[in-house]
Amino acid sequence: MLPPRDPDEVLKARGAAHRPAGRFEPYQPVREDDGWDSPPDEHLLRTEVTTEQPRRIITRNQSPDVPFDRSVNPYRGCEHGCIYCFARPSHAYLGLSPGLDFETRITAKPDAARLLEAEIGRPGYAVGPIAFGTNTDPYQPAEARFGIMRSCLQVLHDWNHPVSIVTRGRTILRDLDLIGAMAVRQQVFVGVSVTTLDAKLARQMEPRAPAPATRLAMIRGLAEAGVSVRVMVAPIIPVLTAHEVESILTAAREAGAATASMIPIRLPHEVAPLFRDWLQRHHPGKADHVMARIQAIRGGRDNDPRFGTRMKGEGIEAELLHQRFRLARKRLGYATESPPLDASRFAPPPRSGDQLSLF
Q: What does the pLDDT read at residue 187?
A: 98
CATH number at 17 reads: 3.20.20.70
Would 21 be classed as within a structural domain? Answer: yes
In tens, the pLDDT along 302-318 reads 999 999 899 999 999 99
Q: Is the pLDDT of residue 28 over 80?
A: no
CA distance 166 to 249: 17
- Percent of residues, the chain, with pLDDT higher than 70: 94
Would 358 be classed as within a structural domain? Answer: no
Which range of residues forms the domain containing residue 79? 9-26+44-331
Q: What does the pLDDT read at residue 357?
A: 56
Region 268-272: what's the mean pLDDT?
Answer: 96
Would 4 be classed as within a structural domain? Answer: no
Q: Is the pLDDT of residue 269 over 70?
A: yes
Q: Is the pLDDT of residue 102 over 70?
A: yes
Would 63 be classed as within a structural domain? Answer: yes
Closest CA to 2 of 281, 208, 201, 235: 281
State the total domains in the chain.
Answer: 1
Would 345 be classed as within a structural domain? Answer: no
Would 152 be classed as within a structural domain? Answer: yes
Would 352 be classed as within a structural domain? Answer: no
Q: Is the pLDDT of residue 37 over 80?
A: no
Q: Residue 7's pLDDT band (boundaries 50, 70, 90)?
A: confident
In tens, the pLDDT along 82-98 reads 999 999 999 999 999 99
Q: Reduce the DSSP state of residue 310 to 3 states and report it.
A: coil
In tens, the pLDDT along 134-147 reads 999 999 999 999 99
Q: Is the pLDDT of residue 25 over 80?
A: yes
CA distance 87 to 81: 11
Region 42-63: what's the mean pLDDT?
Answer: 92
Q: Is the pLDDT of residue 355 over 80?
A: no
Region 179-193: what's the mean pLDDT?
Answer: 97
Region 25-51: what's the mean pLDDT?
Answer: 78
Would 273 be classed as within a structural domain? Answer: yes
Q: What does the pLDDT read at residue 358?
A: 54
CB atoms closer than 10 angstroms to residue 354 = 9
Q: Supply the DSSP string of 4-62, one letter for each residue.
A: PP-TTEEPSS-S----PPPTT-S--------S--PPP--EE---EEEE---S--PEE--
CB atoms closer than 10 angstroms to residue 55 = 6
